[in-house]
Structure 1
Amino acid sequence: MGSIFLFLFSFLLLSFVLAGDTLVQLDYASYKGTDRGNGISDWLGMRYAAPPTGKLRFSAPEDPPRSHSVQNADKHGLICLGTGAPPDSKTQSEDCLFIDVYAPTSATPNSKLPVYFFIQGGGFNTNSNPNLNGTGLIHASGGNIIVANFNYRVGPYGFLASKEVEAGGSLNNGLKDQIKALQWVQKYISKFGGDPKHVVIGGDSAGAASVTYLQTAYGGRNDHLFIGSAAESQSFATELTVSASQYMYDNLVIRTSCANASDTLRCLRSVKASDLQAVNFNLPFPGGADPPLYMYQPTIDNDLIRDLPYNAYAQGKFIKIPTIFGDDTNGGATFAPPNTSTLAESNQFMKDQFPALTLADLAKIDQLYPLTNDRFPNSGPYYRQLSNVYGDMRYTCPGLYISKAYTKAGYKSYNYRYNVLDPHDVAVGLGVPHTVEINAIWAQSYDFAGPGAPASYNTTNKGIIPVIQGYWTSFIRTLDPNVHRFPGTPVWEEWTLKDDEWRRLKFQTNETAMEDVAPTQKSHCQWLQSIGPSVNQ
């Protein structure tokens, strides 16, 4: 009977292969993908790690379970539970460690195509860009790349830190999920036609911050998981030590009625996910008055993360690879409270996000960033001033600093400012907001950005799509954005070490060109970069 069963199982697998060549046999499971009939096939919702539930809550990711049946990889897996998500969410789950792969249908295990590994954002508190479709990028590359994206743990599930978690669990599990997914790519991506020796990582916002953490992980140790990076709106937030993060754990223990347990970590692991979600909300940082936008963050654990990002880059403790970094003109506009009416309210918001800011720091910020003349509907007079401060401090200035660090190390780095003006966003005061470029990079065709994009990306601004996709896919393929750039677009110059030449590419519809960083922004960034380590960035 055993031999008959093996024969029938082998015949079934062969039948799937002959039916469409979308069956991929891994050593722990077999996944049946979907040929979309447009030259692209995809495999959705594949497990890259074991469900991080029960005793694996607050633990490092483990290998996925074995399955002897063929799995239909035709639906996205549920995304990871985020801070503030309802306890009865139908779209989020603690069992969420899934990966999607998009590939040219014609690809074979011998194709060895470059791989773009994308890390979604969400402030390390949510999965905010899940399930992005790689079809448009693959088409823009001429069918010469493979795209992978995935979920990783966030909020307390991914970044709870304390002496108890350090002793009985694992720290920075959201980042360890990312590394686990990269290891999965190394082991299996050739089955889909990808080249494990040519993986380029990318991400937006917290995903771009993740790029910086992966580059500086373990003191800059190169485990050869990737050979380049293309980050959108990188972010340096407040980063705490394990001891400074203890208050988060203690409060969660109290809110879950685990305070009297002899083993509080074991008690937390026994709490149902729905009950944990009911008390999963942010608290003020010590020294802040109100909760920050994002409380749970990667933690200095003296292992995976050994120092603050500014220090790691200053000391050259990062993986040496070609890079892209950049930001949007108004990166802080989405986050600054529109009703900010006074300088005191502006200062308080900054103090809530960066509690280590001193009174002298705030006075200097007020001097560098005076009240603007910009006024927008339903907003206070200090809305744009605060937007400018926060956008520079958290997003733009760190990106410029990293480009300089890579150039100093002798590696190519390309920097950009995204300035594609959508009439609606401009009118309401958002300007060119945080990560809006993701709509053009991931557009499904040169004529259609998609229903979630600003309206103008499907009309007056659709011309930016082939421009940015050309640079991005060229970098993924060759580690140089210029080799396969869209015809007629300018050469994207490398960052240089000359202090009088801070030059980046400005993306703007019909006006994409190299530009000098404005002297005012340059001087602001030089000062903000100088205080970065003292405010735990």
Structure 2
Amino acid sequence: MRSSIFAGLVGVSAVGAVKPLVDVSYSKYQGVSLENGITQWLGVRFAAPPVGNLRFAAPQDPVKNKTTIVANTFGNTCLGTGSAASNTSSEDCLFMNIYAPSNATTGHPLPVYFFIQGGGFNTNSNPNYNGTGLIEASNHNIVVVNFNYRVGPYGFLASEEITKGGSTNNGLKDQIKALQWVQKNIRKFGGDPDHVVLGGASAGAASITLLLTAHNGRNDGLFHATAAESQSFAAVRSINESQFMYDNLVIRTGCVDSKDTLACLRGLNATYLQSKNINTPFPGAQNPPLYMYGPTLDNDVVSDLTMSAYRKGNFIKLPAIYGDDTNEGTVFVPANTSSIGESNTFLKDQFPLLTTPQLKQINALYPNNASNVFPNSGAWWRQASDAYGELRYNCPGINVSDIYAATFSRKDIWNYHWDVIDPVAAAAGRGVTHTVEINAIWGPENTRGNAPVSYSTTNAAIVPVTQAYWTSFIRSFDPNTYRLKGSPMWEAWTQGQKQRLHFVTNATAMENVDAGQKARCEYLSSIALDIKQ
């Protein structure tokens, strides 16, 4: 619990600097000034608790109170699908953290890095990363914000009943609410509301693509550049196509006989609802997908399929980074995948609209290499991993970069290929895994124990290189302006030159996309709308 008094603040604010005690109109938050010259405000509420009648509703403004809250404790993360409630997760979870140089001023506000965590829209999987490392890497020239948003049914349940009595895409609306909060309040923390860079990993990077295309690409001025890591392109379903999720939840919870099934769901306590919060197969699939809940085509926030919106030009055209890891699929595909049938079944479980001719073509593009034998894994694990990784992550990032450059002649689009070999992951056959670069961007000591050990030993040299590119982009909308001395120029992705930065410890350099990946991505792009990406 946060106390209303705190005696451990370090140092005194410089003249003209932002003070640790900040009034955001509905509450006052007492930040903590650290010895490294950074002040942090943890667990700042940016919306009302989404409980009771606000379950399955759009986020509302926080309730005003006169309390001074000592912001030295993280707020609870949001409840995820397939997990039990815990002492660190709750339905009351709409909190953010702000990190700023202690000498930041309101008169000379700093660029803001607004990070959207991942988790497949079913969990909060990157909560409460420590922003101090990025600020130090920027020479104390940025402000960092991260936050929670609703996931699973709390954030993405969709149905006719939800449309009439609640709100769809609440997880995305939570993100928009947090961005609106930044516009209103971040200057009080030393940040510049006119210089906000969105960052995100996996579903957080998918969120970036969805926010860029939201409302048919309407620019509300909430952000000004984007950096997407392992952008995830899942299928986007309509309200009608999502109805089965609502109906199944109503059946499992015993709300079928209620006159108002939505009121019944809202009346359940969160512990019981969590016990019924599971994934079930998509129509046309045989097994539950990795992630069932997700953004819905509601003709409001999400007004088109993501790839369709990009192709039509219905997105906000801003400086952007897109990129991926070499082996995006290995952490997702069951390691015991042992046959072509199991491989195809896995792919169709995730994308049930894949047809048998399309699966046949995917099999041809991704032949199984029988000589690839990995510990404790089935013979088709890496084949399925390669196909799934490029289908959902690598190729959409390449194809979107093409759209920026070829269709709209943008010269401020950069792409990367993360290929930093971790010995432990390599020995296990996982290769260079999904979103592992997040540990270099934030610094391995700042990702809550998730970083590979090598990022502090044999791969330590890649960290300052990566942080310099990212903080340069945050500060100037260009990764090269403040890049580390001696590191290569990160050339833009262009129509004629499909080039990207190849991150390798002590050997980072530009590379062209190879012909094989180009061909595979061209095919996967041709079926993207068929499978509703």
Normalised to the residue count of structure 1, the TM-score between the two structures is 0.95
- Confirm whether residue 262 of structure 1 aligns to residue 232 of structure 2: no
SS of the residue aligned with 2:297? coil
Contact 2:43–2:74 under 8 Å retained in 1: yes
1:311 to 305, 308, 324: 308
1:136–1:19 Cα change, 3 Å: closer
Contact 1:492–1:514 under 8 Å retained in 2: yes
Map of 2:522 onto structure 1: 526
Counterpart mapping for 1:291-306 below 5 A:
291-306=288-303
Contact 2:129–2:448 under 8 Å retained in 1: no
Map of 1:480 onto structure 2: 478
- Post-superposition Cα deviations, 1:163-191, rounded to whole Å, max 9, x if no partner, equal 00011100000000000000000000000
Counterpart mapping for 1:137-148 below 5 A:
137-148=134-145
1:172–1:34 Cα change, 3 Å: same
Letter in 2 for 1:194: G
2:391 to 388, 393, 397: 393
Structure 1 residue 67: Cα displacement: 1.4
- Post-superposition Cα deviations, 1:19-44, rounded to whole Å, max 9, x if no partner, equal 65310011111000001111111000
Aligned residues: 520
1:503–1:263 Cα change, 3 Å: same
- Post-superposition Cα deviations, 1:260-284, rounded to whole Å, max 9, x if no partner, equal 1111111110010111001000000
- Post-superposition Cα deviations, 1:376-396, rounded to whole Å, max 9, x if no partner, equal 100011111011000000000
- Confirm whether residue 323 of structure 1 aligns to residue 320 of structure 2: yes
- Confirm whether residue 465 of structure 1 aligns to residue 458 of structure 2: no
Which 4+ residue blocks in structure 1 deviate beyond 2 angstroms?
16-21, 448-452
Letter in 2 for 1:146: V
- Post-superposition Cα deviations, 1:182-214, rounded to whole Å, max 9, x if no partner, equal 000000000000000000001000000000000
Structure 1 residue 444: Cα displacement: 6.1
2:373 to 363, 372, 375: 375
Counterpart mapping for 1:481-520 below 5 A:
481-498=479-496, 501-520=497-516
Counterpart mapping for 1:224-243 below 5 A:
224-243=221-240
- Post-superposition Cα deviations, 1:139-170, rounded to whole Å, max 9, x if no partner, equal 00010000000000000000000000011100
2:58 to 57, 60, 63: 60
- Post-superposition Cα deviations, 1:427-485, rounded to whole Å, max 9, x if no partner, equal 1011000000011101167xx98742111111110000011101000000000000000
For 2:512 and 2:500, how far apart are their aligned partners in 1?
Answer: 7
Letter in 1 for 2:312: Q
Counterpart mapping for 1:367-446 below 5 A:
367-372=364-369, 373-407=371-405, 408-411=407-410, 412-443=412-443
Question: What is the identity percentage for the equivalent residue pairs of Structure 1 and Structure 2?
Answer: 58
Map of 2:531 onto structure 1: 535
Structure 1 residue 111: Cα displacement: 2.5
Contact 2:210–2:302 under 8 Å retained in 1: yes
Letter in 1 for 2:439: N
Counterpart mapping for 1:199-218 below 5 A:
199-218=196-215
Map of 2:16 onto structure 1: none
Structure 1 residue 401: Cα displacement: 1.2
1:32 to 30, 33, 37: 30
SS of the residue aligned with 1:118? strand
Contact 1:17–1:23 under 8 Å retained in 2: no
- Confirm whether residue 99 of structure 1 aligns to residue 92 of structure 2: no
Contact 1:220–1:318 under 8 Å retained in 2: yes
For 2:529 and 2:274, how far apart are their aligned partners in 1?
Answer: 33
Map of 1:127 onto structure 2: 124
Counterpart mapping for 1:68-107 below 5 A:
68-87=66-85, 89-107=86-104
Letter in 2 for 1:422: D
For 2:350 and 2:485, how far apart are their aligned partners in 1?
Answer: 43
For 1:91 and 1:290, how far apart are their aligned partners in 2?
Answer: 30
Map of 1:5 onto structure 2: none
Counterpart mapping for 1:157-306 below 5 A:
157-306=154-303
Contact 2:444–2:455 under 8 Å retained in 1: no
Contact 1:43–1:101 under 8 Å retained in 2: yes
For 1:259 and 1:450, how far apart are their aligned partners in 2?
Answer: 42
Contact 1:449–1:465 under 8 Å retained in 2: no
SS of the residue aligned with 1:506? strand
Letter in 1 for 2:531: V
1:350–1:449 Cα change, 3 Å: closer
Contact 1:330–1:387 under 8 Å retained in 2: yes
Give the gaps of 5 or more residues in structure 1: 1-8
- Post-superposition Cα deviations, 1:378-425, rounded to whole Å, max 9, x if no partner, equal 001111101100000000001011111222323321000000000110
After TM superposition, the structure 1 stretch with the greater mean CA deviation from structure 2, 114-123 or 405-414, is: 405-414
SS of the residue aligned with 2:530? helix
For 1:337 and 1:371, how far apart are their aligned partners in 2?
Answer: 16
- Confirm whether residue 109 of structure 1 aligns to residue 106 of structure 2: yes
Structure 1 residue 250: Cα displacement: 0.3
Contact 2:130–2:447 under 8 Å retained in 1: no
Letter in 1 for 2:438: I
Structure 1 residue 375: Cα displacement: 1.1
Letter in 2 for 1:269: R
Map of 1:341 onto structure 2: 338
Letter in 2 for 1:52: P
1:459–1:17 Cα change, 3 Å: closer
Map of 1:6 onto structure 2: none
Letter in 1 for 2:474: I
For 1:44 and 1:419, how far apart are their aligned partners in 2?
Answer: 33
Letter in 1 for 2:361: K
Letter in 2 for 1:281: I
For 1:458 and 1:324, how far apart are their aligned partners in 2?
Answer: 25
